[in-house]
Amino acid sequence: VTRLIARRGLTYPADPESLQIVRDAGGFSQLDDFDIARVRVKSVEPGEPCDDIPTESLPLYLERGDVEVVDAELDQPSDDDIVTPVEE
């Protein structure tokens, strides 16, 4: 299993409905005021997952190294990172 990790800050439509609105308009710059109010935007910081990046954008960012495919196993916290609550 692999995951997509952003290596650069990214922003894109936050959900399928928002993405469809942006696609139908032909991009953010083509949105009218009504659609602007309906579109939700997601921001991803470097190091965070971006599995939901729009498919049409992915090839360019993969090519540039702004998005990286990593083994999901490596993205899981190690035993050292897990803090077990101490019961009193």
Residue nearer to another protein on the CB measure, 30 or 76: 30
Of 27-35, 70-78, 80-88, the window that binds another protein (rule: CB under 8 A) is 27-35
Would you list the DSSP string of the chain? -EEEEESS-EEEESSHHHHHHHHHHTSGGG--HHHHHH--EEEE-TTSB-TTS-TTTHHHHHHHTSEEEEEGGGGSPPGGGPPPPPP-
Given the rule CB under 8 A, which of 29-37, 70-78, 80-88 is the region that contacts another protein?
A: 29-37
Applying CB under 8 A, does 38 fall inside the site for another protein? no
Instruction: Tell me if 12 contacts another protein by CB under 8 A.
Output: yes
